[in-house]
Chains A and B, each alone.
Chain A
Amino acid sequence: KAGVTQTPRYLIKTRGQQVTLSCSPISGHRSVSWYQQTPGQGLQFLFEYFSETQRNKGNFPGRFSGRQFSNSRSEMNVSTLELGDSALYLCASSRTGADTQYFGPGTRLTVL
């Protein structure tokens, strides 16, 4: 069974631009979560989707948004990029959201 895939793997953007990251979960998994990892703040929860519904959202500004499609694939968008948005963005999938989480390889975003 294929694992969680994330695209792109690396991104370089400049301040003020926007970016869209994509996550394809393991087949059969309906829950997709997003996390931001930085050296200073560690791993922080962004949001979780199940069957196209956002069930929880972390403490991030409204510039961070996401959505889930009917095939469970998910995208997250960051608008008006800031230098502090430079991070590793990780996506995880699971069957229910309350069971074992499987992470993708991540997208490393650099904002210049």
Chain B
Amino acid sequence: GIQVEQSPPDLILQEGANSTLRCNFSDSVNNLQWFHQNPWGQLINLFYIPSGTKQNGRLSATTVATERYSLLYISSSQTTDSGVYFCAVCSNDYKLSFGAGTTVTVRA
């Protein structure tokens, strides 16, 4: 199956700082999604981004499919950005393969 690696595994930020999370994947994919898991366990979809760049408020994402990686940018971080960020990819099999996640802690 497709291997998904996320880095860094942990990130501690001061409120207001910017950060970049990376996702590498081992094979070509049809889609790539970024999720944020809140403290109660729910996965919130941030981006559906098989290629190109998208922005949503303080978050933006870029996927370079030919080089098999995606980046998630968090700007002007807030304490509510804390949580685990997952990258997940899908090929032609309707199955999302998840990375191990990046745990982000934003300190006030």
Answer yes or no: A64 CB below 8 A from chain B CBs.
no
Residues 74-108 of chain A, each 1 if its beta carbon lies under 8 Å from chain B, else 0: 00000000000000101010000111111111101
Answer yes or no: B42 CB below 8 A from chain A CBs.
yes
Question: CB distance A99 to B97 under 8 Å?
Answer: no
When A43-B86, A105-B40 are in contact, do A100 and B95 touch as well, CB less than 8 Å? no
Count A-side interface residues using an 8 Å CB cutoff: 26
List residues of chain A with CB within 8 A of the CB of B90. 98
The smallest C-beta distance from A78 to any residue of chain B, in angstroms, reads 18
When A43-B86, A99-B31, A100-B48 are in contact, do A105 and B41 touch as well, CB less than 8 Å? yes
List residues of chain A with CB within 8 A of the CB of B93. 55-56
The smallest C-beta distance from A52 to any residue of chain B, in angstroms, reads 14
List residues of chain B with CB within 8 A of the CB of A50. 94
**What is the predominant secondary structure among interface residues of chain A facing chain B?**
strand
Count B-side interface residues using an 8 Å CB cutoff: 22
List residues of chain A with CB within 8 A of the CB of B88. 43, 101
Interface residues of B in 23-63 (CB under 8 A from A): 30-31, 33, 35, 40-45, 48
Answer yes or no: B98 CB below 8 A from chain A CBs.
yes
Answer yes or no: B13 CB below 8 A from chain A CBs.
no
**Contact of A102 (CB < 8 Å), options: B45, B94, B97, B100:** B45
When A43-B86, A98-B31 are in contact, do A33 and B45 touch as well, CB less than 8 Å? no
**A–B pairs, 25, beta carbons within 8 Å:** A33-B94, A35-B96, A35-B98, A42-B98, A42-B100, A42-B101, A43-B86, A45-B97, A48-B94, A55-B93, A56-B93, A58-B95, A92-B96, A98-B30, A99-B31, A100-B33, A101-B45, A103-B35, A103-B42, A103-B43, A103-B45, A105-B40, A105-B42, A106-B41, A106-B42
Q: Residues of B at under 8 Å CB distance from A?
A: 30-31, 33, 35, 40-45, 48, 86, 88, 90, 93-98, 100-101
